[in-house]
Amino acid sequence: MGYVFSRQKERQSRQTSATQETRLELFENMEDGGEVARGAITKKVASPGKATILALGKAFPNQLVMQEFLVDGYFKNTNCDDPELRQKLTRLCKTTTVKTRYVVMCEEILNKYPELAVEGLPTVKQRLDICNNAVTKMAIEASRSCIEKWGRPVSDITHLVYVSSSEARLPGGDLYLARGLGLRPETRRVMLYFMGCSGGVAGLRVAKDIAENNPGSRVLLATSETTIIGFKPPSADRPYDLVGVALFGDGAGAVIIGADPDSSIEQPLFELNSSSQHFLPDTEKTIDGRFTEEGISFKLARELPQIIEDNIEGFCKELMGITGNSGNDYNKVFWAVHPGGPAILNRLEKRLELLPYKLNASRRALMDYGNASSNTIVYVLEYMLEEGLKMKGEERLENEWGLILAFGPGITLEGILARNLTV
């Protein structure tokens, strides 16, 4: 991915201003120092024994990429002057709907590792050295933010679920995260590696199962991703790489999950009622990732949005049936969908005949952060809470139940039937 690096410190003001107005509304009745999980005004009671989301957190690297400057920066950083590839990337940047993204890559890294911008050189060691440190740092920052909002001490965390498609090492990133946070040595850890864009919802599913089967447990789910693992110069032999350049971003997300919240301090945001996972046979090559000496190479088949459109309705009906909603009015539930790209969101909206506002949270996350792989669903859920504040009357009733969805390699569909406890 190519970048303009002149706006490194802008991320703090952007992260704050993006949610400042909503946070004021959320926290106006709370004590000073309240945050999302502590400040959310819960309207409904979670079902006994069901896992709930108790806090959300996020973190980003310092470099903020403005989409309008990306093309010039990328071709400058990679010393490429191919006008046809430049034109293609310019078109892609306009169609992705992305406005800003955060990235680990910076001039300092390119000056230290100039070989990353050279075609054909073996650089997997250099990439992993950068990525392993970067994802741990972001995961620690996101987790600390989440724990602070949760309001309980870090020693109360009993389990850790760690998700990433951007690192590879032994021991894994789960151990480095646990050590960085000061988790107890007996904290039980699970790693989910290389699940791509479905990793965040898969992590929620695993954390839900842990929380519901271990009474009193509190699970920290952390996701962390960086595109440096697949950074490459533009090549006419790999035109599909430009899709990733125009679409993907870096960052981390964190979620605290537990059943039977302590009402004296914990205020649940979403109930995770039931979950489902389904892979589509003979679609293994549709999202194809390879770990090579030059890092990870991805190929996304053109038919990916169509395949998701053809299969999503049956998958959603199965989950929605639990609520007693056996009809086809998909506008009576909320939709927290991983924004893999605008084409996927557009196809889903068309197939399910959703009203345009139903995917607002997903489209906002895509616009502000790009497709940040497993992290993005955390950003969508935060925006979903903001969207809930704008709802009134009947609209609130139609957004109590909803679906949390993501699509990843396999092709794998991940889904969770959830209740928004704040509307």
Residues 365 and 274 in one domain: yes
For 284, phi then psi, to 5°, come to: -60, -30
Residues 164 and 248 in one domain: yes
Residues 44 and 187 in one domain: yes
Please tell me the predicted confidence (pLDDT) of residue 13.
45
Residues 164 and 228 in one domain: yes
Per-block average pLDDT, block size 10, for the chain (423 residues)? 45 42 34 37 81 98 96 93 94 96 95 93 95 98 98 98 96 98 98 96 98 98 96 89 94 98 96 96 92 86 93 92 71 94 96 94 98 98 90 71 95 96 90
Residues 23 and 169 in one domain: yes
Position 215: which residue type?
Answer: P
Check if the beta carbon of residue 116 is closer than 8 Å to that of residue 128. no
As for how many domains the chain has, the answer is 2
Beta strand ranges found along 104-166 (DSSP E): 159-164
Domain boundary among 217, 235, 259: 259
Write the CATH number for 326: 3.40.47.10
Spot the catalytic one: 93, 131, 146, 197: 197
In a domain, 87, yes or no: no
Residues 291 and 157 in one domain: no
The model carries a pTM of 0.89
Please tell me the predicted confidence (pLDDT) of residue 44.
85
131 is catalytic: no
Supply the range of the domain harboring residue 336.
270-420
Please tell me the predicted confidence (pLDDT) of residue 230.
92
Residues 358 and 310 in one domain: yes
Residues 246 and 274 in one domain: no
Which letter does DSSP use for residue 154 in this model?
A: G
From the list 270, 231, 253, the residue with the least C-alpha distance to 372 is: 253
Locus of tokens 């301090």 = 265
Residues 279 and 237 in one domain: no
Q: What is the three-class DSSP state of 361?
A: helix
Please tell me the predicted confidence (pLDDT) of residue 252.
98
Please tell me the predicted confidence (pLDDT) of residue 397.
65
Residues 280 and 251 in one domain: no
Rounded to an integer, what distance in angstroms lies between the CA atom of residue 362 and that of residue 365?
Answer: 5
Residues 233 and 283 in one domain: no
Residues 132 and 211 in one domain: yes
